[in-house]
Chains A and B, each alone.
Chain A
Amino acid sequence: MSWSDLVSSAHRTLQKMPNVDYGELRVHLTEEEFIWMRDGVLETFSSSESKGTAIRILTTGMGFASTADPSKIDRAVELALKNSRASDKNVCLSQECFEKASYSSRVLKDPFSTSFREKMEVLRQVDSSAADEDISSRNIFLKLSREKVLILNTDGAETSGEVTRVKLEVFLTHVSGSSSTQEMESRGGSGGLELIDEWNLPELVRSLSKNMKERLEKGVSAPRGKMDVVIGPYVSGLVAHESVGHPYEADRILGREAAQAGESFVTPDMLGSNMGTGLISVVDDPTIEGSYGFYLYDFEGVKTRRRVLMKNGVINEFLHNRETASEFSTVSNGSARASAYNREPIVRMANTFIAPGDMDPGEIIEGVSEGIYMKRFMEWNIDDRRYNQRYVGSEAYLIRGGRIDSMILRPVLEITTPRFYSSVDAVGRDLEFQAATCGKGDPMQGVPVWTGGPTLRLRGVGLGGI
């Protein structure tokens, strides 16, 4: 069935929806293309199409059903209704003003109509820049997607969106004798292949490759103990995502994800309390044109907006869908997303970043007499309350007398979230973004996001390891 036939079918289904507190239909199509080049040779070329309808019905509780088969939509409605009666949480949804709207990402060079040879050439150029430096193993991935979503509900929403995305990922390994080191880079955005030129990955990969070789030759053991630590945008972006974005998701705060990714150290009454120095603000903004996490209406049909999660060190706002907004007696800020037609919309981030300051990164390093500069990391994780996090540096340096000194191997920054944000005394103006796929939910839902941040300086934090 074509997209327009599915849309017509959804409208008809909404018209004959049984008398319920709330009914919602989402027609959701995702087309993808994936190319993997390994050591200069095509490893995998795959394409996918996921297309179907999701139904949510609220009676005594929330019921969900989905189908990829258009002839079974009525059956899915029956199942969602039955399921809603089996749920025993009395779900309420926030009151929202809905509108009829549509939007799409701006695409100059459609990746799906560009020749395969041209796309392979993109990969080849990136691969060559690492191969020229004799990097032992090179994996380059190009992922293209086009997502079309229509939301209809009994509260009056009728929104549709079409977002095309491009993501280029690089995973490099260099082995020298018994030592090895790895690096990963991921750039992505909404738009077409024109984005690839902006990223200039061949140059970045060449520089990364040189650095990997050099660190295996010249890197010295990382120091431990209390010292000043400067982190680059590559690191601070993930810190923002993991330790502000996730714990400010209202469904985690309320315990709905407790058995999966976990809850949050943040409690509802912490709104308005201090979490960091006044230099730090963290924003989640789905409306950034060209971003990897771009959308304008969320997957409940709510118009989304920029959310300032932390404002000058103060907890300012949580991420909400309609269910959590109702529990917090507020309105949704358009954070509901679903990764495919067969997934329920849950609270998600989009493009989360630490807002840039006004300092030059060089100036930030000059202010450190003895410390380290962690420019990039490989290993990271954070506990289920998003309180205790760890980043192990890949490209990293000693700082002595305000200057970058020798390369160091695998410095370990293991730190609590409050300690991190209260230690920041300098924020750079060099905001950068990485593309990522954020995982959450049960069944797992991976959604495209940007993680972003500038160079930050942390005073007197502990470097550890074992």
Chain B
Amino acid sequence: MAGYEEALGFVEDVISEALCLGADEVAVLLSEGPGSQVRFSNNRVDVVKTWIDVSLRIQVIWNRRIQTIFMSTKDLRSIRKQLGRTMKALRSLPEREVYSPLPEGPMDYPIIPDLYDSSLEDPSEKLVDLAHVAIDAALAEGARRAAGSVRSKAFTECLATTSGVKVCERRSNVHLDVRAIRNSEATGHSFSCSRRLSGLNPSKAGEEAGLDAKISEKHIKLGPGRYNALLWYSAVGNIVGVMGSLASALSVLSKMSPYGGKLNERLAPEFFTLVDDPLKPGGYGSRSFDEEGFPTRRNFIVDRGILRTYLHNRLTAKAMETETTSNAGWINPTPWNPILLPGDESEEDLLSEIGKGLIVRNATYLRFQDYVSGDFSAIVRDGLLFVENEEVVGAVRGLRLSDNILRMMSSVIGLGRNTRQIYHWWMEYGVPVEAPLIAVKDVGFTSAMI
């Protein structure tokens, strides 16, 4: 734990305060480090921001009663006051029927390479340059305007518990969104994200967005119906993020997931494997420990088409009489770094597979009619391209993706051979995804134009 002495000393002070006030068990999670952002629109930088942020979370347990505290300070006087209120409140709480103590430490944690880049500790001027690269690239490909943001964070996270867990990790992130606008209805979007500043590719993102905006200008009419579809990375990020996040055991328990009662059932074809892999070097969501102090591990959510596990923290695992999957989330378990494993098809193969169909470049605003059934719709934007004979014929406007998440999983007909790390502004559950292009048969599209 060399280099983390100050942070660990602080979290241990917080634990001592809580124990002194009568807590039985305590976990303290401190996350601290600077963040920066450059926001741009109409080809200019609107604002540059810097955050000197602290996030402190404390789980206080007394007699099988749990309260979670979120604070933005390291001021021990404020923390003591909050802990005092908590101890008073805990005495009024009912005892948890389903309870499992914090895990016993110390534990051994994996060392995951490439999670931190010190050049992201003070990057704001470089971020401004990267924003301009993205803008220029989009304009060069035919956009008339470009908008977006570049955001970074470099932070240290330390967790300590009364049961002997003591672990710290440094991580950094940087991501860029760029939206290219040719006219109000012809737009394109792309992104780039990495743990390292040097991993960001604003030029490629700008080019992709600019090209989509230009292609989208050629409008063709297409009515609502079912079409084979190729989901591009921006859309895949959102939809696969939803598929992974719905595996949270708490979502299943609270009927906010269509996966309830479907463990070990086939949801997708044999070639579809969705694994949560927080151990992947440089993974945008990789990390070595969960919020309860368990070392993270690979979990196959959907293995060769079969739903194999829900994602658990210690409490949901106890409720479902199983073991944690190291996906705590003190309140809600979450996938850390979901990866949809690639297939073996090129983009041309996939286009050939969908035949006469649609390329969905971006899908946002995904809302369920009923989480249990999985019926939902999502807004399609930044290029809904009609393809025929592997050629883009033109862009379709006014259609909405309206389908069922389970039906879509079962109707995947092809996966690309190249994956991309995906994180952009509209990720429904905020979970980064690595995934290939996905071809789906008979996707439903509806329209307001009837």
A66, B51: Cβ atoms closer than 8 Å: yes
5 closest Cβ pairs, A-B complex: A258-B147, A48-B70, A83-B48, A379-B369, A173-B255
A116, B92: Cβ atoms closer than 8 Å: yes
Partner of B44, one of A89, A263, A388: A89
* Distance to closest chain B CB from A82 (angstroms): 7
Q: Is B245 an interface residue (CB 8 A)?
A: no
Contact flag A89-B45 (CB < 8 Å), given A65-B51, A68-B52, A258-B181: yes
Q: Is B361 an interface residue (CB 8 A)?
A: no
Of chain A, the residue at the smallest CB distance from B47 is A62
How far does the alpha carbon of A96 sit from the alpha carbon of B128 in the complex, in Å? Answer: 31
Q: Is A347 an interface residue (CB 8 A)?
A: no
Of chain B, the residue at the smallest CB distance from A462 is B450
Residues on A lying within 8 angstroms of B by beta carbon are 1, 38, 41-52, 61-69, 72, 75-76, 79-80, 82-84, 86-89, 91, 115-117, 120, 136-137, 139, 171, 173, 175, 179-182, 254-260, 262-263, 265, 341-342, 344, 378-385, 388-390, 392, 410, 412, 414-416, 419, 442-443, 462, 464-466
A83, B372: Cβ atoms closer than 8 Å: no
How far does the alpha carbon of A384 sit from the alpha carbon of B189 in the complex, in Å? Answer: 13
A64, B367: Cβ atoms closer than 8 Å: no
Partner of B53, one of A51, A120, A342, A442: A342
Which of chain B's residues have a CB closer than 8 A to the CB of A465? 402, 446
How far does the alpha carbon of A181 sit from the alpha carbon of B367 in the complex, in Å? Answer: 14
A-B contact pairs, 8 of them (CB 8 A): A83-B50, A89-B42, A173-B371, A263-B184, A379-B367, A382-B365, A412-B402, A466-B224
Contact flag A389-B224 (CB < 8 Å), given A63-B48, A87-B47, A116-B93: no
B255, A61: Cβ atoms closer than 8 Å: no
Partner of A69, one of B48, B52, B189: B52
Which of chain B's residues have a CB closer than 8 A to the CB of A87? 45-48, 128
* Distance to closest chain B CB from A86 (angstroms): 5
Contact flag A442-B52 (CB < 8 Å), given A86-B128, A379-B367: no
Contact flag A381-B45 (CB < 8 Å), given A136-B255, A137-B254: no
Which of chain A's residues have a CB closer than 8 A to the CB of B420? none
15 more A-B contacts (CB under 8 A) besides A173-B371, A258-B147? A46-B68, A47-B89, A66-B50, A76-B52, A116-B89, A171-B256, A182-B369, A254-B42, A259-B147, A259-B189, A381-B377, A388-B398, A442-B149, A462-B450, A466-B445
Which of chain A's residues have a CB closer than 8 A to the CB of B254? 38, 43, 137, 139, 171
A64, B48: Cβ atoms closer than 8 Å: yes
Partner of B372, one of A41, A175, A256: A175
* Distance to closest chain A CB from B69 (angstroms): 6
Contact flag A443-B151 (CB < 8 Å), given A47-B86, A464-B446: yes
Partner of A86, one of B45, B74, B403: B45
**For this complex, into which size category does the number of interface residues on chain B fall?**
35 or more
How far does the alpha carbon of A416 sit from the alpha carbon of B185 in the complex, in Å? Answer: 15
Q: Is B331 an interface residue (CB 8 A)?
A: yes
Q: Is B179 an interface residue (CB 8 A)?
A: yes
* Distance to closest chain B CB from A234 (angstroms): 15
A49, B224: Cβ atoms closer than 8 Å: no
* Distance to closest chain B CB from A48 (angstroms): 4
Q: Is B82 an interface residue (CB 8 A)?
A: yes
Of chain A, the residue at the smallest CB distance from B59 is A46
Q: Give the residues from 354 to 383 in chain B that come closer than 8 angstroms, CB to CB, to chain A.
A: 364-373, 375-379, 381
Contact with A along B108-129 (1 / 0, CB 8 A): 0000000000000000110010
How far does the alpha carbon of A42 sit from the alpha carbon of B89 in the complex, in Å? Answer: 13
A180, B425: Cβ atoms closer than 8 Å: no
Contact flag A83-B446 (CB < 8 Å), given A258-B179, A442-B151: no
How far does the alpha carbon of A50 sit from the alpha carbon of B71 in the complex, in Å? Answer: 6
B72, A51: Cβ atoms closer than 8 Å: yes
Residue among B49, B70, B331 having the largest count of chain A Cβ atoms under 10 Å: B49
How far does the alpha carbon of A344 sit from the alpha carbon of B189 in the complex, in Å? Answer: 24
Contact with A along B149-168 (1 / 0, CB 8 A): 10100000000000000000
Of chain B, the residue at the smallest CB distance from A48 is B70
A414, B447: Cβ atoms closer than 8 Å: yes
B66, A69: Cβ atoms closer than 8 Å: no
Which of chain B's residues have a CB closer than 8 A to the CB of A466? 224-226, 402-403, 444-446
Which of chain A's residues have a CB closer than 8 A to the CB of B124? 82-83, 86
* Distance to closest chain B CB from A122 (angstroms): 14
Q: Give the residues from 160 to 194 in chain B that come closer than 8 angstroms, CB to CB, to chain A.
A: 177-179, 181, 184-185, 189
Q: Is B195 an interface residue (CB 8 A)?
A: no
A379, B47: Cβ atoms closer than 8 Å: no
Q: Is B41 an interface residue (CB 8 A)?
A: yes
User: In terms of DSSP, what is the predominant structure of the interface of chain B?
Assistant: strand
How far does the alpha carbon of A422 sit from the alpha carbon of B368 in the complex, in Å? Answer: 28
* Distance to closest chain A CB from B380 (angstroms): 8
Contact flag A42-B93 (CB < 8 Å), given A48-B71, A180-B373, A383-B379: yes
How far does the alpha carbon of A466 sit from the alpha carbon of B147 in the complex, in Å? Answer: 34
Q: Give the residues from 47 to 94 in chain B that come closer than 8 angstroms, CB to CB, to chain A.
A: 47-54, 66-75, 78, 82, 85-86, 89, 92-94
Q: Is B37 an interface residue (CB 8 A)?
A: yes
B49, A414: Cβ atoms closer than 8 Å: no
Q: Is B297 an interface residue (CB 8 A)?
A: no
A49, B73: Cβ atoms closer than 8 Å: yes
Which of chain B's residues have a CB closer than 8 A to the CB of A88? 44-45
Which of chain A's residues have a CB closer than 8 A to the CB of B253? 38
B450, A464: Cβ atoms closer than 8 Å: yes
Q: Is B148 an interface residue (CB 8 A)?
A: yes
A255, B402: Cβ atoms closer than 8 Å: no
Which of chain A's residues have a CB closer than 8 A to the CB of B196? none
Contact flag A390-B42 (CB < 8 Å), given A69-B52, A258-B179: no
How far does the alpha carbon of A62 sit from the alpha carbon of B71 in the complex, in Å? Answer: 28
* Distance to closest chain A CB from B260 (angstroms): 9
* Distance to closest chain B CB from A334 (angstroms): 20
How far does the alpha carbon of A415 sit from the alpha carbon of B444 in the complex, in Å? Answer: 17
B448, A388: Cβ atoms closer than 8 Å: yes
Q: Is B400 an interface residue (CB 8 A)?
A: yes
Q: Is B97 an interface residue (CB 8 A)?
A: yes
A44, B378: Cβ atoms closer than 8 Å: no
B47, A265: Cβ atoms closer than 8 Å: no
How far does the alpha carbon of A416 sit from the alpha carbon of B397 in the complex, in Å? Answer: 13
Contact flag A47-B82 (CB < 8 Å), given A89-B46, A381-B400: yes
Which of chain A's residues have a CB closer than 8 A to the CB of B398? 388
A69, B377: Cβ atoms closer than 8 Å: no
* Distance to closest chain A CB from B4 (angstroms): 19
Which of chain B's residues have a CB closer than 8 A to the CB of A47? 67-70, 82, 85-86, 89
* Distance to closest chain A CB from B377 (angstroms): 6
Q: Is B96 an interface residue (CB 8 A)?
A: yes
Contact flag A50-B331 (CB < 8 Å), given A63-B48, A88-B45, A173-B372: no
B73, A68: Cβ atoms closer than 8 Å: yes
Partner of A381, one of B372, B378, B449: B378
Q: Is B145 an interface residue (CB 8 A)?
A: yes
Partner of B52, one of A66, A137, A260, A392: A66
How far does the alpha carbon of A186 sit from the alpha carbon of B120 in the complex, in Å? Answer: 41
Q: Is B39 an interface residue (CB 8 A)?
A: yes
How far does the alpha carbon of A45 sit from the alpha carbon of B72 in the complex, in Å? Answer: 18
B94, A379: Cβ atoms closer than 8 Å: no
Partner of A384, one of B38, B47, B379: B379
Which of chain A's residues have a CB closer than 8 A to the CB of B376? 379
How far does the alpha carbon of A69 sit from the alpha carbon of B96 in the complex, in Å? Answer: 36
Q: Give the residues from 395 to 441 in chain B that come closer than 8 angstroms, CB to CB, to chain A.
A: 398, 400, 402-403, 425-426
Which of chain B's residues have a CB closer than 8 A to the CB of A342? 51, 53, 72
